[in-house]
């Protein structure tokens, strides 16, 4: 289509000025954009307030969508369930047999664990979640992996708090608005979590690769002890995440670690828990111990 003749203002003074102003405004827009981008690259937290307000405003839309997602999933699951009922039943019975054995083993382990903890005089610290929330959206068209949850400062959420699901760690809060927060997912390339192998003390860092998998880098280099299928949990080193939250499953061995699949896939997660920052707990406990010591003196 040919453009309208508005670009050729002719001798109309008003049209000429209007056209000129349009170009000036557009130029200013580009310059302001470049300046803002430079500022937010140098100081990423500058515009957090603005963004939090905006996401608070849009959060209700996301809530509706999240509810729909859960409902939709249930419908599909139900249909698929009927389709494969027979073979599923046989498989489940088999699994139940194995599970009963495992349960007994787990019970034994739990008792042993309680005994050891009692020996170490560690409190049976029940971590109480700060808030429960829905995952209501994610930056699905950006190279960053950030999700939105439906809880904010009103529910006690603060930046830095870990976000978990029943399946394992999801990420950590980076910005908290009044009613919604932004969560840096584990798969973001800026995310790094100290982990250890669930069975022993092989420690590593889990870095996001922004394609849904994590890269495990061993802290102690040498012979790579990781095998396919090893489960990694948070080690609690450096604070933030309490130890023992499931993170990833090693699927591919590399020279300095492994490529791992996320255990709590955010796409399949509906409700998440926001947990308190772990280090604070430890510091509080230490303070309490100090106070006690001071009183005894």
Partner 1 sequence: METLNPKSRRDPFGSRINRDQSPLLAYGLPWASILLGSLTPWLPVISAAPVLPPLGLMLMLAWRLLRPGLLPLWAGFPLGLFDDLYSGQPFGSGILLFSLALFVIELVEIRFPWRNFWLDWLTATAIIVPYLAISALVSGAKLTMVQLTVIAPQLLISIMLFPIVARLVALLDRLRLMRVRRIA
Which residues in 193-252 contact partner 1 (CB under 8 A)?
209-212
CB burial class (10 A; 0-12, 13-18, 19+) of residue 227? exposed
Answer yes or no whether residue 34 interacts with partner 1 by CB under 8 A.
yes
Burial of 209 (0-12, 13-18, 19+ CB in 10 A): middle
Question: Between 105 and 211, whose beta carbon lies closer to partner 1?
Answer: 211
> Of 10 and 86, which has the nearer Cβ to partner 1?
10
In the complex with partner 1, the residue whose CB is nearer, 3 or 229, is 3
Rounded Cα gap, residues 6 and 207, in angstroms: 53
Give CA–CA dist 48/40, Å, rounded.
10
List the one residue from 11, 87, 140, 201 that touches partner 1 (CB under 8 A): 140
Residue 68 vs 125, nearer CB to partner 1: 68
Distance from C-alpha of 295 to C-alpha of 289, rounded to nearest angstrom? 10
| Burial profile 42-72: b = 16 or more Cβ within 10 angstroms, e = fewer | eeeeeebeeebeebbeebeebbeebeeeeee
Coil, strand, or helix at residue 268? helix
**Shortest Å, Cβ 192 to partner 1:** 11
213-218 vs 203-208, strand pairing mode? antiparallel
Residues 176-195 that bind partner 1 (CB under 8 A): 182, 187-190
- Binding residue for partner 1 (CB under 8 A) from 131, 138, 226, 257? 138
Name which position in 12, 46, 89, 113 contacts partner 1 (CB under 8 A): 46
156: left (phi over 0), alpha (psi -120 to 50) or beta: left
First to last CA, the chain: 89
Task: Find the binder of partner 1 among 51, 91, 117, 288 (CB under 8 A).
Answer: 51
For the bound state, the minimum distance from the C-beta of residue 188 to partner 1, rounded and expressed in Å, comes to 7
The reply to whether 267 sits near partner 1 by the rule CB under 8 A is yes
Residue 10 gets the label, from left (phi > 0), alpha (psi -120 to 50) or beta, of: left
Return the residue matching tokens 């560690």.
Answer: 122
Q: Which of 32, 78, 116, 283 binds partner 1 (CB under 8 A)?
A: 32
Which residues are paired to 135 by β-bridges? 149
Instruction: Work out how close the CB of 198 gets to partner 1 at its nearest, in angstroms, rounded to a whole number.
Output: 22
Binding residue for partner 1, selected from 12, 16, 17, 35, defined by CB under 8 A: 35
Judged by beta carbon, residue 267 or residue 286, the one nearer partner 1 is 267
Task: Give the residue ranges of DSSP H helices in 121-211.
Answer: none
Residue 133 CB, nearest approach to partner 1 (Å): 13
By CB under 8 A, residue 75 contacts partner 1: no
| 154 interacts with partner 1 by CB under 8 A | no
Using the contact rule CB under 8 A, the part of the chain among 63-71, 80-88, 117-125, 195-203 near partner 1 is 63-71
Binding site for partner 1 (CB under 8 A): 1-4, 6-7, 22-23, 25-26, 28-30, 32-41, 44, 46-47, 50-51, 54-55, 58, 61-62, 65-66, 68-69, 135-148, 182, 187-190, 209-212, 262, 265-267, 269
């Amino acid at each position: 289509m040919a453009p309208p003749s508005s670009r050729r203002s002719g001798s109309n003074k008003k049209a000429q000025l209007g056209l000129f102003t349009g170009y000036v405004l557009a130029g200013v827009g580009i310059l302001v954009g470049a300046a803002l981008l430079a500022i937010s690259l140098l100081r990423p937290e500058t515009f957090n307030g603005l963004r939090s307000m905006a996401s608070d405003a849009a959060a209700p839309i996301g809530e509706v969508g999240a509810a729909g997602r859960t409902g939709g999933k249930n419908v599909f699951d139900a249909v698929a369930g009927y389709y494969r009922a027979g073979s599923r039943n046989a498989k489940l019975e088999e699994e139940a047999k194995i599970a009963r054995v495992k349960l007994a083993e787990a019970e034994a382990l739990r008792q042993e664990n309680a005994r050891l903890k009692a020996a170490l005089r560690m409190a049976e610290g029940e971590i109480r979640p700060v808030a429960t929330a829905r995952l209501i959206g994610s930056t699905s068209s950006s190279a960053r992996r950030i999700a939105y949850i439906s809880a904010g400062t009103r529910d006690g959420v603060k930046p830095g708090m870990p976000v978990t699901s029943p399946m394992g760690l999801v990420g950590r809060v980076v910005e908290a608005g009044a009613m919604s927060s932004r969560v840096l997912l584990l798969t973001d390339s800026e995310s790094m979590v100290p982990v250890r192998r669930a069975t022993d003390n092989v420690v590593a860092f889990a870095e996001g690769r922004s394609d849904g998998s994590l890269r495990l880098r061993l802290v102690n280099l040498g012979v790579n002890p990781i095998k396919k299928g090893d489960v990694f949990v948070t080690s609690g080193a450096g604070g933030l995440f309490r130890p023992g939250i499931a993170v990833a499953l090693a699927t591919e061995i590399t020279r300095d670690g492994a490529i791992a699949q996320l255990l709590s896939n955010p796409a399949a997660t509906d409700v998440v828990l926001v947990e308190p920052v772990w280090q604070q707990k430890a510091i509080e406990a230490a303070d309490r111990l100090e106070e006690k010591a001071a009183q005894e003196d």
